[in-house]
Structure 1
């Protein structure tokens, strides 16, 4: 990956604010995808879940095909698109196993070891600076996750190990997305994701196919639309903000997932969730204020 790709800095505070909004939308979409995937996995295999998520995405991008065709024909950075999606597909498989077998808050807590990898990969490949506010936000967010999850014997589970592995895959895939945004629009990045991951998902699903019913359709839509929206919003955020800024903010998915898990599945929620969420929020609030000061006013 090119060492000079960090030279494009966000231009204004308005763009910085837009990036934060896209991060928030991405968090909501990821949680929706998680719920849809978990419900689908009660009757379908995990490999089918990945396939149908991509299939729903294909239906959406066909509707918008005319808008993306000119850029798709240019096939910019196609090798990086393929690399990113093979890495991401593998991470998704491990992550979905965790969503099915572990509480949602635990999955997101384990997944958010990812910022450590993101900060490292962003420094190594994109030459992003490891500024003090970013490091403090990452450390504060990770501490908040530990407060929520309180890892102990209950977290020692093969599925937990797969989620940790998925976190490393996701971090590398995200760095690929950040580099892709230099020459590709967020919409086209998502289109390539569907076009590459759909055949991968289909081949994998054929090895473990279960009967599909009409009752699965709503969950397919939620998982598919959530996945497409989440990655589109994340790419929009990365187009405006550096990767080491985006990911610590995304820690807020942990307390949000805990709340959704409580209301949707009766998963235990207690004071620790709110305490951990407060630590995450405060650490990111300080970092956002400092990062915002680096941007020129509109």
Structure 2
């Protein structure tokens, strides 16, 4: 089949199927990114890898910025971009350290508890009304984390704690994204993230700096930036093609992708408890996404004459 014929077949698919396809592609890229960090960490410190990853992604966005002009990233919310990038760099530094210290599949599964912390943060900091069903889903998801970590049954060390810390920082980044998305364009957010996270990741990188000494390492670093950029491009297309609540669960494909790559590259096989905990986290995440979709539809539903005022005043905001 020719590339044009393949492209025509893909474009003929329903929008939800295209969104699911792009999200699956993004999950594969993100899983590959974790493995690349693990591989490069044998020669460079994770902090330095984080800098090259951020700078590389920014470099890949510069041609677009040069073509469009600086006006496309004009913003009045500089502090919001800084806050988002601070959460992002903390998440990245802890995550890049984690993947060098524990099995990649186990670390990835724990990191997917981030939506659970997002729910807590939305209730505490954004004053969002979270219903009992989502709280139950959050508790169920935390039970999945406990199945993976199993405190009391084996030693919970620095790697597990760092993985949980990375999930908390990812949740903070998610909440900041949610706030910024109301006024900023996706591409502008990516550019500002690249600028600030490159700046924020440079000082810790300088503390452990060693210049890449071989040509193949420079190739790895360029590939790292390219894969990160492709992952974000695929994510953007996934959310553009279909509802976020539909495509988001396909991101969990990252867990078996990482598990497979970890097994092939490092003979790391997740145990039964890791898979059971992962299943609980995934179930909690999918349920939360579905409840969020119902909430959004309820809020966006057109008013019904003669009924709307009574419904809003008598019941209040929909609970999820």
Indicate the SS of the match to 2:188: helix
1:178–1:235: 8 Å Cα contact kept in structure 2? no
Q: Distance in 2 between matches of 1:260 and 1:229?
A: 19
Instruction: Name the CA shift for 1:20/1:121 in 2 (closer, same or farther; >3 Å).
Output: farther
Q: Distance in 2 between matches of 1:124 and 1:219?
A: 41
Instruction: Name the CA shift for 1:23/1:37 in 2 (closer, same or farther; >3 Å).
Output: same
Instruction: Name the CA shift for 1:24/1:50 in 2 (closer, same or farther; >3 Å).
Output: same
Give 1:57's aligned residue.
Answer: 57
Give 1:182's aligned residue.
Answer: 182
Give 2:268's aligned residue.
Answer: 267
Give 2:197's aligned residue.
Answer: 197
1:204 Cα deviation after fit: 2.6
Q: Distance in 2 between matches of 1:252 and 1:136?
A: 24
Instruction: Name the CA shift for 1:45/1:202 in 2 (closer, same or farther; >3 Å).
Output: same
2:259–2:270: 8 Å Cα contact kept in structure 1? yes
Query: Quick check: 150-159 or 55-64, which moved more?
Result: 150-159
Instruction: Name the CA shift for 1:193/1:210 in 2 (closer, same or farther; >3 Å).
Output: same
Q: Distance in 2 between matches of 1:157 and 1:78?
A: 37
1:266 Cα deviation after fit: 0.8
Indicate the SS of the match to 1:101: coil
So what's the TM-score if we normalise by structure 2?
Answer: 0.72
Query: Quick check: 129-138 or 196-205, which moved more?
Result: 129-138
Q: Distance in 2 between matches of 1:147 and 1:274?
A: 9
1:100 Cα deviation after fit: 0.9
**Alignment of 1:220 onto 2:210:** no
Query: Quick check: 76-85 or 268-277, which moved more?
Result: 268-277
* 1:60-209 mapped onto 2 (5 Å cutoff): 60-65=60-65, 66-67=67-68, 69-72=70-73, 74-131=74-131, 134-151=134-151, 154-209=154-209
Q: How many residues align?
A: 282
User: Could you list the runs of 5+ residues in structure 2 that have no partner in the other structure?
Assistant: 1-13, 302-320
Give 1:10's aligned residue.
Answer: none
2:249–2:286: 8 Å Cα contact kept in structure 1? no
So what's the TM-score if we normalise by structure 1?
Answer: 0.76
Give 2:210's aligned residue.
Answer: 210
Q: Distance in 2 between matches of 1:86 and 1:285?
A: 28
Q: Distance in 2 between matches of 1:15 and 1:134?
A: 28
Q: Distance in 2 between matches of 1:28 and 1:254?
A: 9
Instruction: Name the CA shift for 1:46/1:278 in 2 (closer, same or farther; >3 Å).
Output: closer
1:61–1:191: 8 Å Cα contact kept in structure 2? yes
Instruction: Name the CA shift for 1:95/1:253 in 2 (closer, same or farther; >3 Å).
Output: same
1:181–1:235: 8 Å Cα contact kept in structure 2? no
1:230 Cα deviation after fit: 4.2
Give 2:315's aligned residue.
Answer: none
1:258 Cα deviation after fit: 2.5
Q: Distance in 1 between matches of 2:293 and 2:16?
A: 7
1:233 Cα deviation after fit: 5.4
Q: Distance in 1 between matches of 2:86 and 2:289?
A: 32
Give 2:6's aligned residue.
Answer: none
1:202 Cα deviation after fit: 2.8
Give deviations 1:240-278, integer Å, cap 9, x for gaps: 8689x9887755644443333212211023444544454
1:109–1:149: 8 Å Cα contact kept in structure 2? no
1:211 Cα deviation after fit: 3.3
Indicate the SS of the match to 2:99: helix
Q: Distance in 2 between matches of 1:171 and 1:143?
A: 18
